[in-house]
Structure 1
Amino acid sequence: MLQRIQTVYMIISALVMGCLYIWFPSIVDEAGNTVIARDEVFVFGLIFVSIALAVISILSFKKRQLQFVLNRLNIISNFVLLGVFVYRSLKVSGEILVSEKGIGVLLPIISIVFLVLANKAIKKDEDLVKSVDRLR
């Protein structure tokens, strides 16, 4: 059902990734070279996949196993996105003009935390349904 706590967690995860999509910074080093630009297809593809998986998972509330699998795929895509952000920020030599570059790395971590919480709630609901079926 849509009023379950796992739906709230997945909505928060989708909103966090939406914020990352909107506020994604264009990081420029001291020499004026763009390190991470807004037109990178791979990074924005991963962000879009994460948002799409969260929305699809929210809309498939009647199929808890599918929700669980979609959330796991979303966690994997967030880990890949996190790895890209860490790799790009470590690859940069010297100081970056934008000192708030860590927020881009933080948002996929927040999304992963909420997806894990959603999976725990889905697992709890699934166990409850299985225990009720056993009593019949």
Structure 2
Amino acid sequence: MLQRIQTIYLIIVILLLGALYQWFPTMNDSTGAPVMERTEWLFFGLIFGGIAITIISILSFKKRQLQFVLNRLTILTNLVLLGVFVYRSLTLSGESLLSEKGIGVLLPIISIVFLVLANKAIKKDEDLVKSVDRLR
């Protein structure tokens, strides 16, 4: 399981999504308590959903086709997450306490790249297994 390169790529995706969770600023009200808006709930749901799907994908290493589909689902989750970032950055008025622009917006794109690399490695493994089956 861990000796496969796609598992390493998927672990990197989990770390990137975890870093994105740590990076994302929450808005505070006048008393200093965090306030959750609708887009923030969507944001946190997408992050934890992406992490959960990626963990399930790592654990289903014997079912390569399912792993391939789960990675595609995580790519879609990251694209929606990127859309939430764009929506949020376009609707904010003025500059907030923490800037919305920066490395955090790039983290979903970087995780999509690693998911594509993982899918290529899974496809390579699948082709190798099919070629061995043909020789028998």
Fold similarity call, TM over 0.5: yes
Unaligned runs of 5+ in 1: 29-33
Instruction: Give the match for residue 135 of structure 1.
Output: 135
* Partner SS state of residue 95, structure 2: coil
How far off is 1:97 after superposition?
A: 3.7
d(CA) in 2 for partners of 1:92 and 1:75? 26
User: Is residue 2:13 matched to residue 1:20?
Assistant: no
C-alpha contact (below 8 Å) 1:13/1:115 kept by paired residues:
yes
Instruction: Give the match for residue 76 of structure 1.
Output: 76
Letter in 2 for 1:113: V
What is the 5 A alignment of 1:1-136?
A: 1-26=1-26, 40-99=40-99, 101-136=101-136
C-alpha contact (below 8 Å) 1:57/1:70 kept by paired residues:
yes
d(CA) in 1 for partners of 2:96 and 2:18? 24
Q: Are the structure 2 counterparts of residues 20 and 87 from structure 1 closer, same or farther at C-alpha, using a change threshold of 3 Å?
A: same
Structure 1 runs (4+) greater than 2 angstroms displaced: 93-104
d(CA) in 2 for partners of 1:40 and 1:92? 13
Alignment TM-score, normalising by the size of structure 2: 0.86
d(CA) in 1 for partners of 2:87 and 2:102? 12
d(CA) in 1 for partners of 2:91 and 2:49? 25
C-alpha contact (below 8 Å) 2:50/2:74 kept by paired residues:
yes
